[in-house]
Structure 1
Amino acid sequence: MMITIGITGGVGAGKSTVLDFLEEKYQAYVMKADEIGHLVMEPGQSCYEPVIALFGRQIIKNDKTIDRRQVSDVVFSHPELLEKLNQIIHPAVKQYIREQLAVKKQQGQKICVVEAALLLEDHYQEFCDTIWYIHTDEEIRIRRLMENRGYTREKSVSIIASQAPETFFRENADYVVVNNGDFAQTRRQIEEGIRKYETL
């Protein structure tokens, strides 16, 4: 039996740490929606032409790839284009994940993990067996963003404020992993979460 765990949580919650541990200890097959979003925009992939049609040929770099930085600059000041971009990318990402899950199931993979910032908003629970919310206290998240990404405190606070509130995640998740910096504690919670499924 294969289980698919959906992992979500706010920026700076340390989701990567949890994913790395699941990969190392349980040989989980990990898919990150962000990375797949880049993949589907590569030349020859399903979103390449639609994205160029939306933004114009000036976003094509010399090596024929899409200049993602340029796209990001444009959508930052044109929210209506961001919505159109998401309408192209998000369905393609979900389709790619569904196909990969089917392949992994056939190959006998035991655990698959899907990580997405908008996992709940984009209804990834349709193909996840369980949703895990990675919680980290806001002050720790701010500190991580300042240290790891070089953001100012103001920028960190505004990014966190723009995301879904804590209550939304807790109401929609099946399991909460608190990741406040003591990894031994985080690890115990992950192991407990996996054990729940191993005993089914």
Structure 2
Amino acid sequence: MMITIGITGGVGAGKSTVLDFLEEKYQAYVMKADEIGHLVMEPGQSCYEPVIALFGRQIIKNDKTIDRRQVSDVVFSHPELLEKLNQIIHPAVKQYIREQLAVKKQQEQKICVVEAALLLEDHYQEFCDTIWYIHTDEEIRIRRLMENRGYTREKSVSIIASQAPETFFRENADYVVVNNGDFAQTRRQIEEGIRKYETL
């Protein structure tokens, strides 16, 4: 039996740490929505032509790939284009994940993990067996963003404020992993979450 865990949480929550541990200890097959979003825009992939049609051929680089930085600069100041871009990318990402899950089930993979910042908003729970919310105290998240990404405190606070509140995540998650920096503690919670599925 295969289990699919959906992992979500705000920016700076340390979701990658949890994914790495699941991959290492449980040989989980991990899919990150962000990375798949880049993949589906590659030449020959499903979103390549639609994205060029939306932004124009000037976004094509010399190597034929889409200049994602240029795209992100444009959508930053044109919310309506961001909305259209999301309408192209998000369904393609979900379709890709569904196809991969079907393949992994055939291969008798035990654990698949899907990580997405907008996992709940985009209804990824449709194909996840359980949703885990990675919680980290706001002050720690701010510090991580400043240290790891070089953001100012103001920028960190504003990014966190633009995301769904903690109550939304807690109300919609099946399991909460607190990841405040003591990894031994985080690891115990992950192991406990996996133990709930004794059939594995």
Q: Shorter-chain-normalised TM-score: which range?
A: over 0.9
Gaps of 5+ in 1: none
CA shift for structure 1 position 199: 5.1
Deviations 1:145-193 (A, max 9, x none): 0000000000000000000000000000000000000000000000000
| 1:1-21 deviation per Cα after TM superposition (whole angstroms, max 9, x unaligned) | 000000000000000000000
Q: How far is the alpha carbon of 1:198 from its aligned partner?
A: 1.8
The residue that corresponds to 1:13 in the other structure is 13
CA apart distance, 1:197: 1.0
Structure 2 unpaired stretches of 5+ = none
Paired with 2:154 and 2:57, the residues of 1 have a C-alpha distance of: 35
Match of 1:127 in 2: 127
Q: TM-score, normalised by structure 1?
A: 0.99
Number of matched residues? 200
Aligned partners of 1:105, 1:78: CA distance in 2, in Å?
40
SS of 2:113's equivalent in the other structure is strand
Write out aligned runs for 1:1-200 (5 A).
Answer: 1-198=1-198
Q: Distance in 1 between the 2:108 and 2:161 partners?
A: 41
| Aligned-partner Cα distance in 2 for 1:103–1:15 | 25
1:83-118 CA distance string (max 9 Å, x none): 000000000000000000000000010000000000
Q: Deviations over 1:111-142 (max 9, x none)?
A: 00000000000000000000000000000000
Please list every run of at least 4 consecutive aligned residues from structure 1 whose deviation after the TM superposition is greater than 2 angstroms: none
Give me the whole-angstrom Cα distance separating, in 2, the residues matched to 1:155 and 1:175. Answer: 29
- The 2-side partners of 1:3 and 1:52 are apart by 37
How far apart in 1 are the matches of 2:63 and 2:157?
Answer: 37
Q: What's the TM-score, normalizing by structure 2?
A: 0.99
Q: Distance in 2 between the 1:180 and 1:54 partners?
A: 41
